[in-house]
Amino acid sequence: MSGMLDGMNTLSTKASSLVNRAGSLLFPPTCLFCHAPIPSGNGCCATCLAEISIWPHHICQRCGVEMPASMAPGPCGHCLKKPPAQQQTHSLYRYHGPIREAILNWKLQGHEAAVRWMVEQALPGLSEQLDSNCLLLPVPMPLSRMRKSGQHHAANLCRWIAGGTGCLWDWRILRRIGEQPRQSALSGQARRKNLRKAFAIADDYRPCWQDLAGQINSVWIVDDILTTGSTLHDAARACLKLAKPVNVLSLARTSLKG
């Protein structure tokens, strides 16, 4: 009987291998960014990979802006004069080229595969910063925009990052108050005014926070794109009421200085 089972397992393995090879011929792997054929299923072609930029490591630790290596980790001049609410600011990628296109396709078309690849590539580094005592809070979306898109993009980022690092996340604790114009349509100064009172800790979820508080040593506010930093700064300021160190994390960052 065992010989028969071994033979069946061998046949099954060979059949699976043939199916996989046939699938590769019929549906060859393509780049998640430009959709060009690639020799293996690693997700990204050599051309796109060469155009993807990691956000520099020489930064002002407080606001995350680029600095000369000799001056890092800062603080920068702006943070010396007017430090943001958060203790640390980290970004994963520079918002340009394939990264920009992937994020726009995700936000506007719902195509998430390339963004998930970006998160997966960043997990080794994130695992050095995040652990089971960290809590990720997504920047809340206005309800009207969430209903229209059917997605909460920052919450999805939190879920993927938490799944790969073992940290905690919760979308209910930080809330959006009212409806504000889209940040992308505003100037830098207008962005800073737009969201000053747009975030608050949800009163009905304070018991949820109280249950978590003993496990948490830091809170991380997560968003997809950091431009001037106004959104993340205002969200971080609202989270100071949680009485834990507050940091911010973005998937990508523009080269604009806010």
Tokens of 245: 């160190």
Strand 218-226 to strand 134-138: parallel, antiparallel, or no bridges (unpaired)?
A: parallel
Per-residue pLDDT, 2? 47
Contact (CB, 8 A) for 237 and 200: no
Contact (CB, 8 A) for 176 and 194: no
Contact (CB, 8 A) for 138 and 223: yes
pTM (two decimals): 0.81
Hey, where are the domains in the chain?
Answer: 85-253
| Backbone torsion region of residue 14, taken as left when φ is above 0, otherwise alpha when ψ lies between -120 and 50, otherwise beta | alpha
Q: How many Cβ atoms are within 10 Å of 46's Cβ, its own excluded?
A: 11
Q: How far apart are CA 168 and CA 149, in angstroms?
A: 25
pLDDT along the chain (258 residues), means of 10: 49 50 64 91 91 94 93 91 95 97 94 96 95 95 70 94 96 81 53 68 81 90 94 94 95 78
Per-residue pLDDT, 224? 96
At 243, give phi and psi (nearest 5°).
60, 35
Per-residue pLDDT, 197? 72
Q: Which CATH class is domain 85-253?
A: alpha beta
Contact (CB, 8 A) for 201 and 237: no
Q: Among 235, 226, 246, which residue's Cα sits nearest to residue 93?
A: 226
Per-residue pLDDT, 179? 61
Q: How far apart are CA 233 and CA 253, in angstroms?
A: 14
Let me know the angle formed at the C-alpha of 225 by 52 and 241, rounded to the nearest 5 degrees.
140
Per-residue pLDDT, 191? 53
Tokens of 155: 């919450």
Q: How far apart are CA 14 and CA 230, in angstroms?
A: 56
Please give the C-alpha separations between residue 198 and each of 175, 179, 180, 238, in angstroms, as whole numbers: 8, 8, 8, 9
Q: How far apart are CA 196 and CA 177, in angstroms?
A: 10
* 74 three-state secondary structure: coil
Per-residue pLDDT, 117? 97
**Kind and range of the H or E run holding 8:** helix 2-26
Contact (CB, 8 A) for 228 and 84: no
